[in-house]
Chains A and B, each alone.
Chain A
Amino acid sequence: MSLLTLHNNLNTYLVIGAMLFGIGIYGLVTRRTIIGMLIASELMLAGASVNFMAFNRFTAPDPVVGQIFTLFIMAIAAAEAAIGLSIVVAIYRNYTSIDTEDLVKLKG
């Protein structure tokens, strides 16, 4: 299996999806602002979508189902981004900061 025929292999896409998910996890645990964490979660969603599309292309009998599922993931992710960012704006109004270490009102 040479480097140039890598795109015809299911495992390649599974590794790519795992890579995106791992990068997202790394961003999620190291970021200090809410927007940075939201960006990392978008990367994780993209990793999950790549996984769906890989199985859709290589193993599923009906190659439409995975594409439709990925479209639904995109719609939900867009809704999630809109809600999350408006929460960020609301938090910024109340705390004048989006740093996760400043949001300690519920800490007791």
Chain B
Amino acid sequence: MNSSFLMSQAHALFSADGLAGLIFLIMVAVMLIGGLMACTSERLVRCVAGLVVCFVGVAGIYFYLNSPFVATMQMLIYVGAVSVTISFAIMLAAPEQSKKIGPSGPLSGPLGFLTAGLIFAGLAVLGCRAVWPVKAKINNGGMEAIGLQLLQDYSMVFELVSVVLLIAILGAIILARSGRNN
């Protein structure tokens, strides 16, 4: 009986759906390992590496949420751009001796772990207990629909985001330039 159960499990694992489920679990594991690395490792460069790993996992999760476009954007923006920016800032701002970062302060150690654990447990329990009303889909959410909506209903926000990005770049340049002489 036991061996037939194992056989059926193995059969379920090597079907297309089973492999998809397995890859999903691997992606979640990658995300968790990366996130823990980003928040617990001693050196800032390793934190950035953990962030990259974590964002690769999140991109895989977006893929499972029926949106390959957002997954691609996650890879391009976070894994490509944001992590490179952070590593540049580490190179510019963190001298070698202060790159070691141990925990300190009242919330470090077990109290901080308790805080994070309570917030996680609260959010997870609330999310799983609530009854979310499910509505029928009115389109398939593909890339064509995204492009149309971006230029029709959300065109104003689309333009405003570009203005925000421009101002952010200008502000970043001005902030980083001030006091360069001393």
A: residues with CB less than 8 A from B are: 2-7, 10-11, 13-27, 29-33, 35-36, 38-40, 42-43, 46, 49-50, 53-65, 67-68, 70-72, 74-83, 85-94, 96-99, 101
Q: Are A83 and B119 in contact (CB under 8 A)?
A: no
B54's nearest neighbour on chain A, judged by CB, is A43
Q: Which B residues lie within 8 Å of A35 (CB)?
A: 44, 47, 86, 89-90, 93-94
Q: Are A82 and B85 in contact (CB under 8 A)?
A: yes
Selected from A14, A46, A62, A64, the residue in CB contact (under 8 A) with B54 is: A46
Q: Which A residues lie within 8 Å of B32 (CB)?
A: 19, 23
Q: Count B-side interface residues using an 8 Å CB cutoff.
A: 97
Taking the nearest CB of chain A, how far is it from the CB of B91, in angstroms?
10
B: residues with CB less than 8 A from A are: 12-13, 17-18, 20-22, 24-25, 28, 31-32, 35-36, 38-40, 44, 47-48, 51, 54-55, 58, 61-62, 64-67, 69-70, 73-74, 77-78, 81-82, 85-86, 88-90, 92-95, 98, 101-105, 107-109, 112-113, 115-117, 119-120, 123-124, 127-128, 132-141, 145-146, 149-150, 154, 157, 161, 164-165, 168-169, 171-173, 175-176, 178-180, 182
Selected from B17, B39, B161, B176, the residue in CB contact (under 8 A) with A43 is: B39
Q: Are B38 and A18 in contact (CB under 8 A)?
A: no
Give the interface SS of chain A, mostly helix, strand, loop or mixed.
helix
Taking the nearest CB of chain B, how far is it from the CB of A51, in angstroms?
8
Contacts A27-B39, A43-B38 given; indicate if A71 touches B31 (C-beta within 8 A). Answer: no
**What 6 pairs across the A-B complex have the smallest Cβ distances?**
A63-B141, A22-B120, A4-B21, A27-B39, A14-B127, A79-B168
Interface centre among B103, B105, B116, B138 (most CB of A within 10 A): B116
Interface centre among B36, B108, B123, B137 (most CB of A within 10 A): B123
